């Protein structure tokens, strides 16, 4: 039997570490760039609106499609509203939606995945069938259905997308927890008389948390696109509230009027955010798979 | 007084694909409070399955019959909370591979205190103090530092001591030790064994000790049960076992030990290969490998017979042997050149 040489405290990396303990190691340069880009975007959404002087919803038709100028750094939209202001204020709506979706989907998915693994048997069978059934519906379709039932707006879209994204997390958690559950240390805990809940919550969950964080990150990117798309077709965020997806939709008309700034700037922010989130998510997934 | 643990007619079948395979056949033995019983046998003989039945850790879909009684409870019928408290406070288990049986990302301190806090209902501070005392008791002196370390920072021997500390933490009445020293090197083995036996004496615990080391079983156990192909083939007082084996299989195991005082040109081995219960032939399962086998060994099912043991070790010991020729072969099993098969006689 190989007895590992006991290194000094802090000297060697533990075989697996939960992602939140060392968020920036082992994700490579692209992961680092993506991480800091997201920090910048998050700061923009958190702090930006505090410094905005102009009213994002103030209509002044004299300045419709105004070009870039010191007063309108990115120009004005069809109603003469400042595009930059609307982008900054809209970042909160644009990011809050996916954040809610990912939070709800992750909590639900993790609970379902862990319960399926711990109880096994018919609970597992039912969970797997439900997951498969939800997978069969595209998220956008569920969201359109929800808006048909509950009316347009962010809450209906968020709830529908949370349900649509839950299976992604549940499936990943289930397979990772299943592998973890069959490791000998879990039987060692069982013969010490630990209950299923204590083992799932205190041992299995922390050991699969890296994978959960990584997949939640990926879901954030997809949810952002889906919510933007819903707002674009008018089912999501309702005017006059500023939102990136809604701005792409309302800026469409401007493209034909030689004033593409609104649609382009909003699209660019969506693309940058999603690209950064997906890169970071991919690197986190890679990292948890390497360590597992 | 009735024994602490008594296993009677335990039969276990495991599901392998579509068929059920027998791994234990009518195993019976008992462990008195404070005593040590050894389970010996080759790989696949059912040692681990016996222990896994006792702490109800058999794989999903296993079918058991017979009875396992612990004090006044039927272990095979325990469910839910009753099973949890039986595992938490009555039996403890020490595994062969301590490293695989600890969560690699949790600290030693968490490992030791978690069950104390969850089962013993003590505070974190009290639990940490108890944990350091336990580590001191198993001979780990810088307990404070060790409690903060992760399993990968400890050597195999140290980690096994931590496992022993965790096992005795709840003051169980019975310890199940599944080859606790097999993964350790010989000098560490001796230390760990000494600690385990000292803890057992101090806490007055009974132990069910699995090993394939006959010498170790002889020095540690009060009684040794020999398993072959899922059946008990012999059971008698441990110190008698290698001097006066009652079953040809035990005798073959005893003879397969190399002797440290002699240079062996060729290590002797039990001929053939170990069988598991489901592929055992009709008749005596050991017959194909037995140098005493006769035609009558290959038909019928040999029963355990009770034999008086040699009187030199004091009065009263009796042993059990599952051999139809046990009585007539008595005392000749270890003589080097007895070839007593039908073929040889012709």
- Contacts A17 to B, Cβ<8 Å: 105
Instruction: Give yes or no for a contact between B55 and B176, defined as CB atoms under 8 angstroms apart.
Output: yes
- Whether B70 contacts chain A with CB within 8 A: no
Distances (CA, A) of A11 to A28, B141, B330: 21, 22, 62
Mark yes or no for CB contact B157/A3 under 8 Å.
yes
pLDDT at B105: 85
Q: Residue A56 — pLDDT band, cuts 50, 70, 90?
A: confident
Range A218-234 average pLDDT: 86
pLDDT at residue number A114:
92
Residues of A with Cβ-Cβ distance to B168 under 8 angstroms: none
Chain A neighbors of B103, CB-CB under 8 A:
185, 189, 203, 207
pLDDT at residue B10 in the model: 92
Of B60, B87, B104, Cβ closest to residue A191? B87
Separation CA B343–CA B331 (nearest Å): 22
Interface-testing mutation among A193, A197, A210, with chain B (most B C-beta atoms within 10 A)? A193
pLDDT of residue B218: 84
User: Which residues in chain A have their CB less than 8 angstroms from residue B114's CB?
Assistant: 194, 202
Chain B residue with minimal CA distance to A8? B153
Choose among A1, A3, A198: nearest Cβ to B118: A198
Question: Does B16 or A1 have the greater pLDDT score?
Answer: B16
CA of A191, closest CA in chain B: separation in Å? 5
Nearest-CA distance B165 → chain A (Å):
12
Q: Supply the pLDDT for residue A169.
A: 92
**What local confidence, expressed as pLDDT, does residue A171 receive?**
93
pLDDT reported for residue A126: 93
The mean pLDDT value for A179-196 works out to 86
Give mean pLDDT, residues A266-288: 88
Average the pLDDT over A5-15 and give the result: 43
Mean pLDDT, range A124-139, rounded to an integer: 90
- pLDDT above 50 for A245: yes
C-alpha distance from A87 to closest chain B C-alpha (Å): 43
Candidates A3, A192, A207; nearest CB to B105: A207
Judge: A14–B86 Cβ closer than 8 Å, yes or no: no
Peptide bond into B116 cis (omega under 30): no
**Contact between chains at A191 and B60 (C-beta distance less than 8 A):** no
B188 Cβ contact partners less than 8 Å away, ≥ 6 residues apart: B156, B157, B160, B181
B107 touches chain A (CB under 8 A): no
A291 reaches B (C-beta below 8 A)? no
Cβ–Cβ below 8 Å for A3 and B97: no
pLDDT of residue B338: 52
Residues 161-200 of B with CB under 8 A from A: 166, 170, 183-184
The parts of chain B modelled with pLDDT lower than 70 are: 1, 119-121, 309-317, 336-346
Residue B336 pLDDT: 63
Task: Give the integer Cα–Cα distance in Å for B270 and B249.
Answer: 8
* Cα B101 from Cα A184, distance rounded (Å): 5
Q: For residues B229 and B281, is the Cβ–Cβ distance under 8 A?
A: no
Is there a contact between A6 and B101 if contact means CB atoms under 8 Å apart?
Answer: no
Q: What's the token pair of residue A281?
A: 């998510």
Asked if A10 reaches chain B (Cβ–Cβ under 8 Å), the answer is no
Q: Is A122 on the interface with B (CB under 8 A)?
A: no
| C-alpha to C-alpha distance for B254 and A140, rounded to whole angstroms | 73
CA–chain centroid gap for B280, Å, is 21
pLDDT of residue B110: 86
Distance of CA B257 to the CA centre of its chain: 19
Q: What is the token pair recorded at A204?
A: 């299995």
Per-window interface: B 44-63 vs A, CB < 8 A:
55, 57, 60
Mutation choice for A interface testing from B103, B145, B165, B179 by most A CBs within 10 A: B103
The answer to whether B226 contacts chain A (CB < 8 Å) is no
| A224 class by beta-carbon count within 10 Å (0-12 exposed, 13-18 middle, 19+ buried) | buried
pLDDT for A292 equals: 58
Which among A155, A11, A3, A20 has a CA at the least distance from the CA of A93?
A: A155
> Chain A residue with minimal CA distance to B156?
A3
Q: Which residue has the higher pLDDT, A260 or B68?
A: B68
- From the list A9, A188, A194, the residue facing B95 with the nearest CB is A188
Within 8 A of A197 by CB-CB distance, chain B residues are none
Q: What is the CB neighbour count within 10 angstroms for residue B188?
A: 18
> Do the chains contact at B92 and A192, CB–CB below 8 Å?
yes
pLDDT, tens digit, 9 for 90 and up, residues A92-106: 888 898 999 999 999
ipTM: 0.76
The nearest alpha carbon in chain B to A11 belongs to B153
CB-CB under 8 Å, A9 with B148: yes
Q: What is the C-alpha to C-alpha distance for residues B115 and B56, in angstroms, rounded to an integer? A: 19
**Does the CB of A22 have a partner CB in chain B at under 8 Å?**
no
Provide the whole-model pTM. Answer: 0.76
Which of chain A's residues have a Cβ under 8 Å away from the Cβ of B84?
193-195
Query: Which A residues 245-274 touch B at CB under 8 Å?
Result: none
Residue A15 has pLDDT above 50, yes or no: no
What is the distance between the alpha carbons of residues A166 and B341, in angstroms, rounded to a whole number?
70
């Amino acid at each position: 039997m190989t007895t590992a040489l006991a290194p000094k405290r802090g000297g060697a990396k533990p075989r697996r570490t939960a992602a939140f303990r060392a968020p920036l190691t082992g994700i490579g340069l692209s992961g680092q760039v993506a991480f800091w880009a997201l920090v910048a975007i998050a700061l923009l959404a958190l702090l930006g609106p505090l410094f905005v002087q102009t009213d994002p919803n103030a209509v002044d038709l004299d300045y419709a499609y105004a070009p870039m100028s010191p007063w309108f750094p990115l120009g004005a939209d069809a109603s003469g509203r400042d595009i930059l202001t609307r982008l900054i204020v809209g970042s909160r709506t644009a990011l809050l939606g996916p954040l809610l979706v990912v939070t709800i989907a992750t909590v639900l998915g993790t609970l379902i995945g862990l319960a399926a693994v711990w109880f096994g048997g018919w609970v597992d069978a039912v969970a797997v069938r439900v997951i498969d059934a939800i997978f069969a519906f595209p998220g956008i379709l569920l969201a359109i259905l929800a808006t048909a039932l509950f009316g347009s707006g962010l809450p209906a879209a968020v709830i529908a997308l949370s349900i649509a994204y839950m299976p992604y997390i549940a499936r990943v958690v289930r397979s990772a927890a299943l592998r973890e559950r069959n490791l000998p240390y879990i039987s060692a805990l069982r013969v010490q008389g630990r209950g299923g809940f204590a083992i799932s919550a205190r041992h299995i969950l922390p050991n699969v948390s890296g994978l959960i964080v990584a997949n939640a990150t990926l879901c954030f990117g997809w949810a952002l696109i889906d919510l933007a798309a819903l707002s674009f077709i008018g089912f999501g965020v309702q005017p006059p509230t500023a939102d990136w997806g809604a701005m792409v939709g309302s800026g469409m008309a401007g493209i034909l009027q030689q004033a593409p700034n609104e649609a382009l700037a909003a699209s660019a922010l969506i693309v940058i955010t999603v690209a950064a989130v997906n890169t970071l998510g991919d690197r986190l997934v890679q990292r948890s798979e390497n360590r597992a | 007084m009735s024994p602490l643990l008594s296993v009677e007619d335990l039969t276990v079948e495991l599901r392998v694909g579509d068929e059920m395979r027998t791994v234990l056949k009518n195993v019976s033995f008992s462990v008195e409070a404070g005593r040590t019983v050894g389970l010996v046998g080759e790989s696949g003989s059912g040692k681990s399955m016996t222990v896994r039945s006792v702490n109800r850790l058999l794989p999903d879909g296993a079918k058991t019959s017979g009875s396992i009684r612990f004090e006044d409870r039927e272990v095979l019928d325990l469910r839910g909370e009753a099973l949890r408290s039986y595992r938490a406070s009555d039996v403890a288990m020490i595994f062969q591979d301590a490293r695989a049986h600890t969560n690699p990302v949790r600290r030693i301190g968490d490992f030791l205190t978690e069950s104390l806090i969850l089962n013993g209902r003590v505070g974190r501070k009290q639990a940490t103090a108890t944990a350091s005392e336990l580590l001191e008791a198993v001979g780990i002196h810088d307990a404070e530092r060790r409690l903060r370390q992760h399993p990968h920072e400890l050597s195999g021997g140290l980690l096994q001591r931590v496992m022993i500390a965790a096992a005795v933490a709840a003051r169980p009445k019975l310890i199940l030790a599944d080859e606790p020293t097999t993964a350790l090197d010989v000098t560490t083995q001796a230390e760990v064994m000494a600690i385990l036996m000292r803890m057992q004496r101090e806490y007055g615990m009974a132990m069910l000790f699995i090993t394939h080391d006959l010498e170790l079983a002889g020095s540690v156990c009060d009684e040794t049960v020999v398993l072959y192909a899922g059946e008990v083939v012999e059971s008698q007082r441990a110190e008698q076992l290698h001097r006066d084996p009652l079953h040809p299989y035990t005798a073959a195991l005893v003879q397969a030990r190399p002797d440290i005082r002699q240079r062996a040109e060729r290590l002797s081995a039990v001929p053939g290969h170990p069988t598991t219960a489901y592929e055992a032939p009709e008749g005596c399962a050991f017959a194909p490998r037995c140098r005493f086998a006769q035609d009558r060994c290959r038909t019928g099912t040999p029963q355990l017979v009770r034999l008086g043991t040699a009187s030199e070790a004091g009065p009263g010991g009796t042993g059990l042997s599952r051999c139809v020729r046990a009585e007539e072969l008595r005392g000749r099993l270890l003589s080097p050149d007895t070839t007593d098969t039908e073929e040889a006689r012709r």
